[in-house]
Amino acid sequence: MTALRNLVESAGFGERRSEVLVLVSGTSLLAGLLTFFTTQIAGLAFCFSALTLVIWLEVLRAVSASRQKRMDFLWPAVFDALRSGSQAGLSMLEQIEYLASDGPEVFREQFALLASELERGVDSQAALAGFQRRVGSRSGDSLAIVMALVEEVGGRGEAANWDQAARDLRQEQAVISQVRAKQGWVLGSSKIALLAPWIICLLLLNLEQNRAAFSDPEGSLVLALGLILSLFAYFLTNLLGRLKLPERVFYVG
């Protein structure tokens, strides 16, 4: 469940996890029902319901990857702005308000919400934890943790912390971007190839004898075995293609 939570948050739906889960499960069930009413083959309906769920996971992965790619290259600028603000003697709330109005546009809404919560008197750790959930980024986790530490120690060494965080992040991004560029197209083409047997299965249903064969218990067994093998290949592809990248940091709250 932690992996699914991180995936939903990284895609930008951290505050709407329940709605996303309802959408995913509902459309997967609907795909199965439509397949059954169209073909009258229960085994095939179950398979397509499961495959729809897998497709949703890949959609969330793609949305997450696209969103994180847009955000990653802007985080160092955020850390630089916080370093400059701390050197100018601005309070943490003033720095957050500046980022909400003049920071990178993709982050302004999140910083505005964070500033609003702090101004209303919401506990800083709870507000920062909410910021982490909404942003869904390892860099956002690091920012929240540094802010919590700054509040704890009273601002000592704040500018140096932001400067170090920005330099570390730029070095990390330089390496990760090269690895992802080489790995992405290979992994994507492998996953698309897993759909080929099911496309062929749909084409075979044009013949009445094939529909009758799939409706038999033996045909249902073949479909179930095909689904198991497809899911095994999918998870094996993810396992073998997984990059050893830095993990998300724990929540402040």
Q: What is the mean pLDDT of residues 138-164?
A: 79
Q: In the prediction, which pLDDT does 116 show?
A: 92
Please check whether residue 56 is in contact with residue 27, taking contact to mean a CB–CB distance below 8 angstroms. Answer: yes
pLDDT higher than threshold 60 for residue 145:
yes
Q: In the prediction, which pLDDT does 104 show?
A: 85
Q: What is the mean pLDDT of the chain?
A: 81
Alpha helices in 73-195 (DSSP H): 75-87, 92-102, 105-119, 124-135, 138-153, 158-193
3-state secondary structure 202-216: HHHCCCHHHHHHHHC
Amino acid at 112: A
CA atoms within 13 A on the CB side of 221: 3
More confident residue, 177 or 31: 31
Q: In the prediction, which pLDDT does 226 show?
A: 87
Between CA 134 and CA 251 the distance in angstroms is 12
Query: Domain map of the chain by residue range?
Result: 2-70+180-241, 75-173
Q: What is the mean pLDDT of residues 209-235?
A: 85
Q: What is the mean pLDDT of residues 34-63?
A: 87
Please check whether residue 84 is in contact with residue 94, taking contact to mean a CB–CB distance below 8 angstroms. Answer: no
Q: In the prediction, which pLDDT does 244 show?
A: 65
CA atoms within 13 A on the CB side of 222: 13
Q: Is the pTM of this model over 0.85?
A: no
pLDDT higher than threshold 80 for residue 178:
no
- Which residues lie closer than 8 Å to 172 by C-beta, 6 or more apart? 246
Q: In the prediction, which pLDDT does 248 show?
A: 63
Q: How far is CA 62 from the centre of its chain?
A: 8
What confidence category does residue 27 fall into, taking pLDDT thresholds of 50, 70 and 90? very high
What confidence category does residue 156 fall into, taking pLDDT thresholds of 50, 70 and 90? low
pLDDT higher than threshold 70 for residue 68:
yes
What confidence category does residue 246 fall into, taking pLDDT thresholds of 50, 70 and 90? low
Left (φ > 0), alpha (ψ -120 to 50) or beta: where does 126 sit? alpha
Looking up tokens 């698309």, which residue turns up? 192
Q: In the prediction, which pLDDT does 147 show?
A: 84
Q: What is the mean pLDDT of residues 57-78?
A: 82
- Indicate the Cα dihedral angle 137, 166, 66, 253, nearest 10°: 10
Between CA 251 and CA 229 the distance in angstroms is 37
The 10s digit of each residue's pLDDT in 72-99 is 778 888 888 888 888 888 888 888 999 9
Amino acid at 90: L
Please check whether residue 253 is in contact with residue 126, taking contact to mean a CB–CB distance below 8 angstroms. Answer: yes
More confident residue, 119 or 195: 119
Q: In the prediction, which pLDDT does 112 show?
A: 92
Give which of 59, 48, 74 is closest to 10, Cα–Cα: 59
